[in-house]
Structure 1
Amino acid sequence: MSNKLIISGSSGFVGQNLVPYLETKNWNVIPLSRRQKSSISLDYNNLTVNDFSSSYAFIHLAGKAHDLKKTSNDKEYYEVNTELTKRLFDLFLESDAKVFIYFSSVKAVADEVEGVLTENHPYEPGTVYGKSKALAEQYLLNKELPSNKKLYILRPCMIHGPGNKGNLNLLYKVVYKGIPYPLGAFDNKRSFVSINTITQVIDKLLNRLPDSNVFNLADDYAISTNDLIRVIALAINRKPKVLSVNNSLVIFIAGLGTSLRLPFNKERLQKLTESYEVSNNKIKDVLKIDKHFDTRTGLTATIKSFKAI
C-alpha cells in the first residue's frame, strides 16, 4: 500500500495542522495548490490521473470560505467549492487511488437548526457558500463508486484551535479590553470542533477504512456564547462582563450594520447568538472512539494562543 497522500488546501488552517500530524504518522504528504510551489508539490492545472494513481488517498480541503463582508462574487463559490471538487473527484475515480475525503461543512445542509443536527438532515442550505458545498456533496454521492474505493464526506461545525481566530477573535477582543458583552439576553447552544478532533478523525479514517459515508465533525457538547465569554475570561485572567441588552434593540443595530456594511451586522449577530447543536455520534460510533472530545479544554488552548500572536 502506498503511503502517499495528496492534500489540497494544505496552506489553510486545517491543512497547516493536518499535514504535520499525518507526517508524524508516516504518511508522505504531497501538497496541491493553485501553482507549483516546490519540487514535491502539485498544481491544479497540471494534475493528471497518474498523480492520483500513485497515491493512496486524496484529501480535498481547499475551498472558498464563507464571506461575512459580502464582497465575494457568487460565481467564485461555485467555481472553487463545486466545480473544482467535481473535477478532482472525477480524476480520483479514473485513478488507482483508494480514498477520497471531502472537507465540506454543516452549512451544506442547514444554516439554522432546530434541535440537534444529524447527518440525516435534508439539504436546506441558505447561503451561496452552503449551496456550493451541497452541490459538490450531491455530485460525489450520485456518482457510482467502485467497490475498491472509499468516499468520506466530512461536515465540520465551527472550528477552533491555536492560531485560528475567526469569530472567536472578536469575542476575545471584547473580553481582553474589558468591554461588557451586550448579548447576554440571547440564550443559545452552539457546537464547536477542535482541530485536534479533525486531525485524529482523518487519520483513523485512512487507517480503519469504514464504509463510505457522510459524517458530522463536532466536539461532544454544545456551549452557550455567554459560557464562551466566561471560558475566554478564565483563560486570560479577566473578569467576565455579560450584559443583557434588549434583544429588539440589538437586532435593530445589527440591521443598521448590514445596511452600512459594518463589522457588526445581522449575519455576525446570528453567528454569535444562534443555537447550532451538532451530533458527533455517528463518527464516534463508526470509528469506535470512546475518547471525550472536550470543548472547554480545546477552546481554552485556542484563546491562550491569541495572547502570543
Structure 2
Amino acid sequence: MNILITGATGFVGQSLCNFLSRKEQVNLIVGASRSETKINGCHKTINLYCDNGQITVQDQLVKHLQNIDVVIHLAGRAHVMRDSGFDIEAAYYKANVEYTCKLAEAAAQSGVKRFVFLSSIKVNGESTNHPFTASDIPSPDDTYGCSKKSAEECLFKIAKNSTLEVVVIRPSLIYGEGMKGNLSSLLKLVKRRIPLPLGAVKNKRSLCSLDALCNLIWLCVMHPNAANQVFLAADNKPISTVELVNAIAKGLGVKARFIKIPQFILKLVGFCLGKKDQMERVLGNLEVNVEYTTETVEWTPEQDTQTALARLLSSTSNF
C-alpha cells in the first residue's frame, strides 16, 4: 500500500509517519510538506505548493498522486484563539476548504481509493450539555469549525460522484509528544508552579491521545466499514480541568497550586478582558461519545487520560 500524508511535519503528522512506517502492509509513505526536508518514517517528501504559496495546479496534483492508494489529509490552518482580522475567514476557507477540495478532486482523478480527512470536534460545536455523538447535526460556532464543516461537505460530494471513499475524523483536543497550543501553555504555568484560579471549576472535557488517534487513522485506512463515515475521536472518559492540571503536575513531578475563585467571577473577568470565548472553553463542558467509532472500526481509545498524560510527561524531556 502506498500512502501520501499532507502536513507530515506537523504535530500529528510526525507521529503518524513513524507509526505507519512500522506497518508491514505499507510499502511507501510520501510526506507532503511546504519544505522538502527529510521526515522520519517517510520514504519520500514532496511539496504540493508553488513558489508563490498557492497550491499546485490540478494536473500537477494528479501527477503527484499517481500510484497512491490512500491520502491522509492532515494539513490545514489550525485553530488559533488570537486569530482576528478582516481576512481571517478567507484565510481559513483557502487553507481548509479550497485546498482540501482540490486535493480530493485530484485524488479521485488519479484513482486513489480512500481519502482520510482529519477534521475537528469543533464541527459539532464548542460545548455540551450531553456528549457529542457522530449522528449529531453539526453546529460549529467559529470560523475554524465552519471551514472544517464546509470541507467535509465538499469531500462527501466528491465521493458521491466518484469512486473515491472518504473518511472523516473529528478529534477532540489532542495531547501527545510535541503538543502545542493551550495544553503547552498550561503545562508551562504548572511547571512554574504558578497558582491557577481554577480550584472551583467542576467541568468535564474530553481529550484525545495522539497514540490512539494514530491507531484510529490506520484503522480508517484499512477497515472496510470506515468508507464514507464520520468518526469522533476522544479518550474513553472526560476529565475536569482540575484533574487535567493535577495530571500535568504529577507528570512533571511538581505539586499543582490552585486558587478557588467562583466561576461567575472568572467569566466576568474574561468578558471584561475580551476573552469570553477562551474562558468558556476553560470552564465549560465538552464531552465526546466515541461508541460509534469503537463499534464500527473496532478502535480502542485511551481509557485513562490522567494516567496517560502523567506517564507521557514523566517519560519525555521535550516539555
> What is the TM-score with the length of structure 2 in the denominator?
0.87
- 1:40 positional shift: 4.1
Cross-structure match for 1:103: 118
On the 8 A contact 2:267/2:280 being kept in 1, the answer is no
- SS for the counterpart of 1:53 is coil
- 1:49 positional shift: 1.9
Unaligned runs of 5+ in 1: 259-264
Cross-structure match for 1:43: 48
Distance 1:286 1:226, change over 3 A: same
On the 8 A contact 2:62/2:107 being kept in 1, the answer is yes
On the 8 A contact 1:197/1:293 being kept in 2, the answer is no
Percent of residue pairs identical: 29
> What letter corresponds to residue 46 of structure 2 in structure 1?
S
Cross-structure match for 1:286: 296
Cross-structure match for 1:17: 15
Unaligned runs of 5+ in 2: 39-43, 50-55
Q: Please give the root-mean-square deviation of Cα atoms over the aligned residues, in Å.
A: 2.2
Summarize deviations over 1:205-250 as a string: whole Å, max 9, x none.
2222323200001110000001112212222222232222122322
Cross-structure match for 1:67: 80
Q: Would you say 1:82 and 2:97 are equivalent positions?
A: yes
- 1:158 positional shift: 0.2
On the 8 A contact 1:185/1:246 being kept in 2, the answer is yes
Q: Would you say 1:214 and 2:227 are equivalent positions?
A: no
- SS for the counterpart of 2:83 is coil
Cross-structure match for 2:184: 169
Q: Aligned partners of 1:113, 1:122: CA distance in 2, in Å?
A: 13
Q: Aligned partners of 2:6, 2:101: CA distance in 1, in Å?
A: 14
On the 8 A contact 2:207/2:235 being kept in 1, the answer is yes
Q: Aligned partners of 1:121, 1:276: CA distance in 2, in Å?
A: 14
Cross-structure match for 2:152: 137
- 1:188 positional shift: 0.5
Written as runs of structure 1 = structure 2, the 5 A alignment for 1:262-277 is 265-277=275-287
Q: Aligned partners of 1:168, 1:48: CA distance in 2, in Å?
A: 35
On the 8 A contact 1:77/1:129 being kept in 2, the answer is yes
Q: Aligned partners of 1:42, 1:272: CA distance in 2, in Å?
A: 37
On the 8 A contact 1:160/1:298 being kept in 2, the answer is no
Q: Would you say 1:204 and 2:202 are equivalent positions?
A: no
- 1:95 positional shift: 1.9
Summarize deviations over 1:30-84 as a string: whole Å, max 9, x none.
1223465577424241543233231010011001011211246221100000111
Cross-structure match for 2:131: 116
On the 8 A contact 2:123/2:139 being kept in 1, the answer is yes
